[in-house]
Amino acid sequence: MKKVTRILAILLVLAMLVSGLSACGPKGGKGGNSATDLLISYWNSGLEMEWLNKMIEAFEKEYPEYNVTVNSTASSDAASASYGLEDVDTVDLYMVTKKWDTSEMVPLNDILNATAPGDSKPLIEKFNQKYLKTEIDRDGNYYGLTYGGGILSLAYNKQQFADAGITELPLTTKQLTVVCDQLSRKGYTPLAHYEGNGYWNFISELWFAQADGMDYYVDTFYGMVKEDGTVEPSLDVFTKKDGRYDTLKVYEQIITPTNVMPGSNTASHVEVQTMFLQGKAAMMVNGSWLANEMASTGSMENFDMMRMPVISTIVDRLETVKGETDLRNLIKAIDKVTDGEAKEEDYKQADGTYKVGNKTVSAADWAIVDEARNALANNYSGEVMFIPSYSTCIDGAKKFMQFMLSDKGYKIYTETLHMALPMDYSDGSAIDTTGWNTFEKSQFHLMSTAKSFVTEYVSSKHRIFTDGGAISYHFPQAAYIPLFCANNPADRKNADQIWEAMVQSAKDNFEHSWMANIA
């Protein structure tokens, strides 16, 4: 059976190489299979080709001994289908969705620890350290580094917010519910998403981490680390009513048939984004790439990206902040510090507590809310570059990665895409945002001030997730978001019904499926 599967996979790869991929590159290229011909397989997921063509042109000028060819496709599965098929694969550098099987990847530790020509410090010191933490594999190595993706949060229509009399962006999920009501009363549709879960699955991860804390999210849940430090999967972790349940309760309040744009459950992401930018909905979870992906649709000047509201149930973890009003006041104070309008010392008292309005907030509570408010959902770790260990042009692939992430290459990236990666220039100079539209500037500001990055692509996940088949929202049907706003009442589900189905799914799959797959 394995032999048959491998033959089918090889045939699929050959078919896609013939018909499914478009080859391009400044020099025309010869493809892979030599020490100087570098073949890149690129998942073109909204960033288009201009930036990459410019990068290749600059790289070949810097390193004339290399000839670069790109196979570009809109399908990540097609772009990565040849990985692992050493006897037919000629790709030297993959730029695709993250792959969990690192057995045939080249470790990138040397690239991270080296200083690129023209830079003033090693790459590892340029990257945001919280991002890098999500890329450390269980064996301590780095196998992938981001080339794209971005942050995800609520994009919103500023004009519709103003017309609805909304003068303050929602700071908490309870306030988000109120904002949805305000928009509805003024005749605006509050929310849109695309078929399946839309981009809400990234926000599910964020609110889960906010509700329970990053340590629980990364170590206890995804890492399966027990209190005594041992690592062992536990059914109790999957069935515990934690921040995942709190998140479903938020969805129950906001993702309703009257709040969601008609067609959201069945339309593609491009169709829904087009309607969103045409003013058919006031808010949509989206990412840094929106302006590039929808460049031909029209102006982005009416749109900004907000920090995601903090899940209101976070107060269950707080000792000195219990009410919704006090929570929002604390978030406002933290935002002022984050945005440079105030200093933390302005709120800190001699005994280490904080004074916010007329309330005293403990240092622990400030830290918890600060971490939650400045955590960002992202998929930087979902769009990564990696090198197959059987490549005939490993040195060239490494040089290209290093060049792209050098100050010189990074400038090409930011100036062309009006986006940034979770990294800085080595000399500490600021990224020039001249000419960026308001949406691009707002998402860049959120990224540059983030303190934590929440992603479903955590590289240190236990094998029960990467190999076993378990996921955080292990609902029997992959899409749970559409069930909250199904037009047919018989198809509609509430948070408790979805949670019960998730718990039952965990009980049904834990032993005979998830654990069996990693035995």
CA distances to 114, 116, 150, 385, 503 from 399, rounded to whole Å, are: 11, 9, 24, 12, 47
The answer for residues whose C-beta is within 8 angstroms of residue 357's C-beta and 6 or more apart is: 326, 329
Q: Running DSSP on this structure, what letter comes out for residue 221?
A: I
Buried b (16+ CB within 10 A) or exposed e, 345-355: eebeeeeebbe
Cα separation, 307 vs 445, whole angstroms:
10
Instruction: Give per-residue pLDDT as tens, 312-340.
Output: 999 999 999 999 999 999 999 999 999 99
CA distance 10 to 509: 31
Q: Are 60 and 25 in contact (CB under 8 A)?
A: no
Rounded to 10 degrees, what is the CA torsion of 193, 196, 202, 206?
90
- Tell me how far the alpha carbon of residue 61 is from its chain's centroid: 33
Q: How far is CA 14 from CA 11, 18, 34, 362, in A?
A: 5, 6, 19, 61
Residue type, 360: T
Q: Give tens-digit pLDDT for 422-464.
A: 999 999 999 999 999 889 999 999 999 998 889 988 888 999 9
> How far apart (Å, rounded) are the C-alpha atoms in residues 9 and 91?
16
What b/e string do you get for 301-340 counting C-beta neighbours within 10 Å, with b at 16 or more? ebbbbbbbbbbbbbbebbebbeeeebbbbbbebbbebbee
Question: Rounded to whole angstroms, how far apart are CA atoms 438 and 404?
Answer: 26
Q: What is the pLDDT of residue 31?
A: 57
Q: Do residues 131 and 453 touch, judged by C-beta distance below 8 A?
A: yes
Burial class (CB in 10 A: 0-12, 13-18, 19+), 57: middle
Q: Tell me the domains of the chain and their CATH numbers.
A: 2-149+383-437 (3.40.190.10), 151-377+459-517 (3.40.190.10)
Chain Cα centroid distance, residue 339:
22
Q: Are 146 and 289 in contact, with CB atoms under 8 Å apart?
A: no
> How far, in Å, CA of 16 to CA of 132, rounded?
33
Strands 93-97 and 22-24 come out as unpaired
**Whole-number Å distance between alpha carbons of 52 and 432:** 19
Spell out the per-residue pLDDT of the chain, length 519, in tens: 333 334 334 434 444 444 344 455 443 344 568 999 999 999 998 788 999 999 999 999 999 999 999 999 999 899 999 999 999 999 999 999 999 999 999 999 999 999 999 999 999 999 998 889 889 998 999 999 999 988 999 999 999 999 999 999 999 999 999 999 999 999 999 999 999 999 999 999 999 999 999 999 999 999 999 999 999 999 999 999 999 999 999 999 999 999 999 999 999 999 999 999 999 999 999 998 888 888 777 778 899 999 999 999 999 999 999 999 999 999 999 999 999 999 999 999 999 999 999 999 999 999 999 999 999 999 998 899 999 999 999 999 999 999 999 999 999 999 999 999 999 999 999 999 999 988 999 999 999 999 888 998 888 899 999 999 999 998 887 899 999 999 999 999 999 999 999 999 999 999 999 999 998
Q: Which pair of tokens denotes residue 514? A: 């998830």
What whole-number distance in Å separates Cα of residue 55 and Cα of residue 32?
18
For the chain, state the CA radius of gyration: 23
- Collect all residues with Cβ–Cβ distance below 8 Å to 349 and sequence separation of at least 6: 355, 360
Residue 383 in contact with residue 149, Cβ under 8 Å?
Answer: yes
Give the whole-angstrom CA distance, residue 391 versus residue 102: 14
* Residue 125, CA distances (Å) to 135, 398, 404, 406 in order: 14, 18, 16, 12
